[in-house]
Amino acid sequence: MKDFRSRKKEKNSLIYNPFFVIIVFIILLLIVNSAYKSYEKKRKAELEQERFNKKYETLLNRKEELLNKIKNLKTENGIKEEIKKAYNVGEKGETVIHITEPTE
């Protein structure tokens, strides 16, 4: 009976061995560190995706504005309007007035 008890203690002694506990603790730290780094990478990827989605939306809006401007420039009134804006000119019979504010 004594032999049986001594063998049982020897098997449990590995779990309580300080060297074994340190190795298990180091492995646990490595796993936690790896999980944290993975989480950080995921978070950075999500932020970058959000940033690119916002940029994509602004580019789509800009594209829509430019398509509308092109559509407007295909009409005669649109062309006249753009010339008036760019060169400060008017048609025959129109008067162009420049209003300036005095500077102090």
Q: What is the pLDDT of residues 36-62, one digit of tens each?
A: 999 999 999 999 999 999 999 999 999
- Residues 5-11 have a mean pLDDT of 56
How do residues 86-103 score in pLDDT, each as one tens digit?
A: 887 777 877 777 788 888
Task: Answer yes or no: are the C-beta atoms of 88 and 82 closer than 8 Å.
Answer: no
Query: 12-16, 21-25, 59-63: which range is least confident on average?
Result: 12-16
Return the higher-pLDDT residue of 87 and 34.
34
Copy the structure tokens of residue 27: 């492995």
Q: What is the pTM of this model?
A: 0.54
